Structures are given as C-alpha cells and as structure tokens.
Structure 1
C-alpha cells in the first residue's frame, strides 16, 4: 500500500481523508438509487469535517448532481474556490444583505415561509434579479418549513413573484434511521398528500425530494427526483439495520504521534482529577491530541487506540491538547510512533460509531467535531501505517 509522508504527517496529529473511498461511496449510492433519481451531496459543516472544497471536487467528478450546504458562508467558500455546480442552501436566510450575496454568488436558497419569501422578492425586485429557489414543507420534523397542510397556499404565494423560479419542493425525515418505520411512513404520506393537493390545484410540481441517507437506504419509494445524502457519503451507515443495503467505505482517519514516554510508580494518578490511578508500575505514552482537536472528553478512560495493529487503552482524563495511553505491555514503543484513534491499522478498526456508542451520541457529531487545527491529508489510496 502507498505510504504517504509529508511535513504534516510529521506533526503531532492530523486527519486522513480517503478520496477514493468517497468516489466509491458515490458510485455505490448512485447504483442503489432508482432510475433517474439525482444525487445531492450534503457537504455542510465543512463536509462533515472532511474538507468541503476537496470533497466537492471529488464527488462532482464522481457523478454527484447537486451540492447542499447549511449556511451562506459555506456556499461563498465553495464559489470562491471555483465550484460551479448547483449549490442549495438548506438553512433559512432572512435579511436583504444575505439575499444580495446569494444573487452575487449564484446560490439557491430554501424558502420556508411566506414572510421570508416576501423579503427575498422585495430585494430581488430592487436588484432586478431572479433566483432559483427550493420550498420546504414541514411534514413532521417540526423544524424549518411551512406546514404541509398549507402547501398549496405557500406555493401559490411564491409563484406570484416573477423573481422566483421554483426549482424543488422538499421535506425532511425525522426518524428515517429508526427500525420502526411508522413515523417515516406518516411523513411520506403527508408529503404525498401535499403533492397531490398541488396537482389538484393545477400546480405543476418541480423536482421533489424527501430522503436523507437513512431514508434513501430504507425505502426506494422515498427516492423521488433526488435524494440528499450526507452521512452515507462519508462511509458511515445511519443505522445498523441498513448496513447490507450498500457497501460503503469509511473516508476519514484520525492519527497522532506519541510525544513522550514515561514510567509511573504504583498509586500515581494520571491527568486532571486523577480519575485513573496506577495499580502497579505503569508505562504510559502521551499523545499530542485532545478535546480541542475534537476528541470527546467523555471518552476519557473508555476509548482504545491502535498502535502497531494492537489495541491500547487510553487512561486518565483527556485534556485540551493531549491524552495518555497505558503502554505497559508495549515495552519497545518509541516517541514519534503513529497512533490510530479512528480508522484502520492492520486488521483492527475503530469507527465513529464506536465512539458515538460509547458516549451516547451520534456518529454525525463525532465526524463534525474535528477542528481545523488538525490538518487534512487528502489521498486516493489507503495509507498503511
């Protein structure tokens, strides 16, 4: 396997991003989708911590049709990097200044309410500009969007303004990762009812989309004209029962180096609060990564890392910039050795799901937590440390 060495990988810690795995995941998902269903790649939050610009370039080259982000600044960043694909803003925009920037950067906003649409229309009229817009219906998420019962009134209100071209109508699923599909099916039926009402009132429906990663993998009936794929794009399954649907590859690894090794006497406490106390002569390694880099402090005394293809226990409270390992059973380890916190090393692997399950959170939060002071290494072959 290709060994990648750079000045960055000689530093204390970094994140590996496997772009070949990204390409694989795009192809797997496209092959799974129903015929003529487009794939929207959700690359908000810096592509779930993977680096939005590089991810955008890779997934577009792999055949993605649309990009989605959450905020105006995320869209501007992509445009200024030369990304010319259609970019949809999932979050709500409410001010005239933001509308002007949307026009300037040719972004496609989500309209959630008539009042928001009015602000857009007024501003666009002053600019003598038009916009492609996406209308969001709330079918049960109870977050952004107009209530599905009011779909006809909402669409008709937006249609009266010549400044708008409605590109799509969509909603978002609240429980698609649940093995109990009753709420998902209820939301699906509400979306169908809203679309039927639009057609009954003579409204030609544009592009329709409802499914996120979990919804897309759960039921092909949810695919419509497009699906919005986030988590699955990065090789993480939204729920255990969906693992057999497609073959995804994890795209992110977190690596760090041992910065010091020392031996502690019995009854010696380790790190803040002495939550770990040595019960014997203990050899420990200090690793240059901590919660300021995105390693959850709640993993303290719970997590394992991989060194030389073997699991090693983390001990003591994880600190802002460092964490400690019990390497008593590894007498020949040296300063500078690479530690795998997330990812594969030989036959062993630690996943975002492992961390999430250990501390009662979700893998989405784990992936999005890695801070920018951890450099990203982009590659197209698996690194064999």
Structure 2
C-alpha cells in the first residue's frame, strides 16, 4: 500500500472517517481570550453540546489548563459527564434543571440556573438534608425571550424568597444577549438595552439585600464587541472553537484558530462515461468522462444533504466538487482532474489540507446556518481524533465506549 495511504490510516481505527480536533488550536484560542479579557475577569468556558461536537471532557481540560476558571453546559447530564471524568472546576448548567434531580445537583456539586421557585425549594431541601450548600445562578430575561426572570417587582420578590431558603448560596446572576453578533446600529442599541435591564435587576436585588459573587452576560460576540459589559465573568463559546462571529476584520489582533476538521478516506474509485448519472434522484449527470470517488460519510454523520452538488472537498490540497445527492452514509466527489487517485487517500470536508482551506463557516453559508450547527451535527458514529503538536494523542469512539 502507498505510504501516504498508510499514514492516513493512523487517524482512524475502524470506519475510515473522523473529526480531527486540534488541541493546540484550542489552547491558543483560550490563551488569547484570557489576554483579551485581562487577568481580573473570570472565564466560564462553554462546553455544552459535547463542546460543540469536539468532545466535552477533552475540551474542558484544555480550556481549564489555558486560562478558563469555570465551565458551562446546557443540561445536567452534560455536567455529570464532566464530574465522572474527574473534572472538579465549578460547572454551571445554563438551561433548566428539574428540581426532582436535586440529589444529583447537590451530590455532584453542580451549580444550576434558577428561574422557578419550586425547583429552588427542592434543591434547598436536598442540600439541607445532606448538610451541604447548593449554588444558584439567577437567570434574567433581558430580551432574549427564552428563560429567566423579567425585570419586575414580582421577580425581585420571588428571588428574595429563593435567597431566604436554607442551604442556598446566590453564586451568580446572568443574562444572554440576542444580537451581540450584529454590528448594525439597531442591534447595538438592543444589546445596550439588554445590559441596562440586566444591570437594573442586579441593582434592585442589591438594594433588597440580595447579592451575588458573579455577574456574567458577554458571550463570544460580547467578549469581542462589548468589553464594557464584562462584569466580572464572561462566557465565550464559538471563539473557543476557532470562529469569530464578526469575522477577522473586527479584531485582527485575535483571529481564532479552527479546532475541528472533518476527514475521511476514499473507499472506491470508478469511471463514468458522458451521460451517466450519480446518486439518488440522478441529480448529477456527467458531461464528460468522469472519475468519481466515493466517500464513507453522509448526512447521518452530519454532512447534511443540503450541501448536495453545492460544496467542495479537498483532495491532495485541491478543491474538487461534491456531486450527486449526499446519501445517508456515503457521498461522491468528482476527482477527474486529480491524477491517479487511489482508494485510501485522505479527503477533507472542512478544514485544511496543504495550502487550501474549507471552513465550517463556508459550509454554513451555503446552507444558511452558522458554524455552531455544522460542528454540532457531526454524529456520534464519527470518532473524534485528538492531535497535539502534529501527533495523534487520543481518540473517542462513542459507539465503543463502555
């Protein structure tokens, strides 16, 4: 077998496809976020949705080693996964946590977002029963319209009742910006109004004797565009994984390095004659004698069918078109202009190969979404392979975990 083909097989152990995660890029991004926010602002690294598909445990460790102070997830199960992996840093569940899961919240020492009094009561009762303390972050709806208390006297009264519960620590108060990634004047005005609403809620509570250790509202876009809103903690998300919500022009001194790339190896090569077709629906018809390579990856792996006949793939550092409808488990590319293509050669669906690059943001623009969704859609049957200093240092095979 060709030496290049042999080398590519080092990146997978079963099916010839993998999401390659660059730990050096993740470290670089967090180090630069730390420099950007300064030494006195805490960083709560967002690792929800399996760290945007990159692997929550691995990413949490890298971020904590390179400047992050705390972690944030979306649901309790994600927090429990991190605790079971031995991570001891503070973890906040940003979404709703049912009070009936109080034993896990208290037992695993997990912070929870609170915006229902009844849930708070159940958390408090469990903490009192076990002679422990449960830590709350009060969620404020300043204009996102999702979760949290709206600015009102009624909200203040309910939060005061939560504060009066036994074995409760009011650890933090937070909100989330809806349009911080939009530089338009009306969007900036809305973000500033959200911050005013959040600050007003904090002041009202402080005047009523309710205080908090931490205040946080800036997401990735907020970190870059609204440093005046840092408070004493920020919650970076997508910039940790290598994408600037404004593009590099907004802050050229900090261009994040992409962390994930999606790769596979060619499984079959065949020749089509002019007029022959490819795939379901026969959506591609050869206009010339065409060399077609088949890849072992499809929409069930997160390479969405919406990209059919619209995206490029990298082979030997050159762009080639994806052709035909993307299948559930396979897709095809036109390699006619790449001489002597062989089964086993590595292809890159997004990421860098040689001097050429296809970003997840490029795929996102094609289908009208954001890079976050491109990452998060990569399925669990795609192994995550971790690279550091150019070498494979670990892998996660979700289908084979015990």
Q: CA deviation at 1:273?
A: 0.5
Q: Which moved more, 1:299-308 or 1:129-138?
A: 129-138
Provide Cα deviations, 1:308-328, integer angstroms capped at 9, x if missing partner: 111000000001111100111
Alignment of 1:72-111 (within 5 A): 72-96=76-100, 98-111=101-114
Alignment of 1:195-274 (within 5 A): 195-240=202-247, 242-244=250-252, 246-274=254-282
1:228-249 deviations in Å (ceiling 9; x for gaps): 1111111111232645352211
* Conserved? CA contact 1:217–1:245, under 8 Å: no
2:4 matched residue in structure 1: none
User: In the alignment, which of 153, 166, 171 is matched to residue 170 of structure 2?
Assistant: 166
Alignment of 1:31-50 (within 5 A): 31-50=35-54
Q: What are the superposed Cα offsets for residues 134-171 of structure 1, whole Å, 9 maximum, x if unpaired?
A: 11110001111111234532331211112210110111
Q: Distance in 2 between matches of 1:272 and 1:312?
A: 20
Structure 2 segments unaligned to the other structure (5+ residues): 1-6, 393-402
How big is the shift at 1:259?
0.5
Distance 2:178 2:136 in 1: 23
Instruction: Report whether the alignment pairs 1:299 with 2:307.
Output: yes
The secondary structure found in structure 2 opposite 1:317 is coil
Q: CA deviation at 1:199?
A: 2.8
Measured at CA, do residues 12 and 5 of structure 1 come closer, stay the same or move farther in structure 2, by a change above 3 Å? closer
Q: Does 1:192 align with 2:199?
A: yes
Whole-Å separation in 2 of the counterparts to 1:136 and 1:7: 42
1:35 Cα offset (Å): 4.4
In structure 1, how many angstroms separate the alpha carbons of the residues matched to 2:201 and 2:339? 66
**After the TM superposition, which residues 1-385 of structure 1 pair with which residues of structure 2 at under 5 Å, given as runs?**
6=10, 8=12, 11-96=15-100, 98-150=101-153, 151-180=155-184, 181-240=188-247, 242-244=250-252, 246-382=254-390
Counterpart for residue 399 of structure 2: none
Q: CA deviation at 1:126?
A: 4.0
Provide, for residues 47-77 of structure 1, a one-character-per-residue CA deviation record: whole Å limited to 9, x for no partner: 1000111111111111210011111111111
Distance 1:340 1:7 in 2: 13
Which secondary structure does the structure 1 equivalent of 2:231 belong to? coil
CA distance in 1, matches of 2:216, 2:391: 37
For residues 287-337 of structure 1, the C-alpha deviation after alignment (integer angstroms, 9 at most, x for no partner) is 111111110110000000111111000000001111100111123111111
| C-alpha contact 1:13 1:288 (8 A) present in aligned 2 | yes
Q: 1:10 to 1:242 in 2, by over 3 A?
A: farther
Separation in 2 of the partners of 1:273 and 1:4? 32
State how far apart, in whole Å, the 1-side matches of 2:33 and 2:115 are. 28
Q: SS at 1:6's partner residue?
A: helix
Q: Report if the CA contact (8 A) 1:299-1:359 is conserved.
A: yes
4+ runs deviating over 6 angstroms: none
Secondary structure in structure 1 of the residue aligned to 2:266: strand
User: Structure 2: how far apart are the matches of 1:329 and 1:379?
Assistant: 31
TM-score normalised over the length of structure 1: 0.94
Distance 2:305 2:108 in 1: 39
Structure 1, gaps ≥5 residues long = none
Three-state SS of the structure 2 residue aligned to 1:92 is coil
In 2, Cα distance between equivalents of 1:116 and 1:148:
20
Which TM-score applies when normalising by structure 2?
0.90
Partner Cα separation in structure 2 for residue 377 and residue 127 of structure 1: 41
Distance in 2, matches of 1:364 and 1:304, equals 19
The separation in 1 between residues aligned to 2:338 and 2:58, in whole angstroms, is 38
- Pick closer, same or farther for the CA change 1:141–1:339 going to 2, 3 Å: same
- Give the drift of 1:106: 1.3
Q: Does the CA-based 8 Å contact 1:167-1:206 persist in structure 2?
A: yes
Change (3 A) 1:56 1:217: same
